[in-house]
Structures are given as structure tokens and as C-alpha cells.
Structure 1
């Protein structure tokens, strides 16, 4: 049943909104603390303090590999590759994105962040394999 894939997809979309709220709150905090003025960021977001820039960079990241995730989910649903293995992979990808965000907007430690990113890409590849196997 394809509903198994709808839930992690909805969770991924919700996470994107959560990251957007983080961006908003960090930018709002920068204005309230007078670390930045509207004129400082009218043309470029580089005037924001680092916490706000990290959150914004992570928000941009939500439109990179997750786009492949959404395409794979649609393909999996179309070709009937919507079993428990695919659902497990989908949830694992969502979890990898949550952990990636927490690292990115937290310590921004590059080694663990890169490792989590690589794990997410591996999960996407395994999802792709699942879709390919369903059509051959």
C-alpha cells in the first residue's frame, strides 16, 4: 500500500517547514539584538550573523537531495515499489535529513555532517535500486 510512503513524505515536508521556522526565528533574533539592520541584508543574506546564515543554508539544502527523494517516492508509488523495505529507507532518509539539520544549525561539525549527508545519499541510491528492480 502506498500510504507507507506517504507518511515519510509528509514528514519530510513538515521538516522543511520546521527548518524555515528556524530560519525565521534566527533572523528575527538578529534584528531584535540589533546584530543586523534591514539595509544590511536587503541585497544579500551575508549580513546576517552565522547562526542565521547556517539555518538559511540548511533550508537551501532541503531543496537539493530531498528533491531526489520526492522523485523516488513518486516513482516507487507508480511502479509498485512501496513495500516495507522502501518505507524503511524513506524513513531512514528523513531521519538523516533531521540529523543533518541538527548538526548544521548546531555545532556545524563538518565530519559528522558530511557522514550523515553521505548516508542520506546512500539511502537514496538504495531507494533508486528498489525502483529499478520493480521495473525490470
Structure 2
């Protein structure tokens, strides 16, 4: 479970960087001002800033439930092929979700990928609850 967890954390760190770069890019080219980010009540920010910020926010919702499952699995020293398969399935779904979200952002595609990730996460928790 350490490898899928680490891979998800890389995605989160990457999106922090991408969101920062997008905000600085918008400031540099005059689309926004630095003060717009103090309480997010300034002028309308460019869509690429909104998309990256929204995706970063998403990475602190459902993925936290996955992180908790990984911590539980590690602390119980429990691992199985099924658990690893579902963990990687969840992580891959989050990478695909991020890619869709910050590029063409088609809601139906994003929802399908989200649903697949949710399926993997539920399977992880069902397995973990079955051994407790």
C-alpha cells in the first residue's frame, strides 16, 4: 500500500505546483492581481486557474479517505493482491480524473472516472472492514 499512497502524494504535490504556476502566470500576464487570491473575491480568474484550483481542492476530498485506508492497512500490516489491485485502480483513476479536469474538462467523462475510483475505494474499505 505504500507505493500507491506515495504515487497519489506525488499527484497532490504536482497539482500544488501546477496551481501555483497557473496563478503566477495569470498575475504575470495581467489576468488577475495578487490581491485577488487573498480571499478569492477579485475579478473573474481565467478558466485554467479555476480548473487547477478546483482539481487541487478535489484532491483533498475523496483521496483523504483513500489515505486513511492506506494508513489503516499499513498499521494493521495487512495487504492482499485484491487490496493492492484496488489501491492502484483508485490512484490511476485520480490521475485520469486530474488529466480530464485540467484539460478538456468534460463532465460526463470526469463523472465516469470518478465513479470508477469510488468503486475501487469502496472495495478497499469493504476488504479492510472484513478483517477488523
Does the alignment reach a TM-score above 0.5? yes
Q: Which runs of 4+ in 1 moved over 4 A?
A: none
Q: 1:16 aligns with which of 12, 16, 24?
A: 12
State the distance in 2 between where 1:100 and 1:14 align: 15
Cα deviation for residue 79 of structure 1 reads: 3.5
Aligned to 2:85: 88
Aligned to 2:116: 119
Alignment of 1:41-120 (within 5 A): 41-44=37-40, 47-120=44-117
Deviating more after overlay: 69-78 vs 6-15: 69-78
The unaligned stretches of length 5 or more in structure 1 are none
Cα deviation for residue 45 of structure 1 reads: 6.0
Cα deviation for residue 78 of structure 1 reads: 3.3
Count, aligned residues: 131
Cα deviation for residue 80 of structure 1 reads: 4.2
Cα deviation for residue 132 of structure 1 reads: 1.7
CA contact (8 A) 1:30 1:52 kept: yes
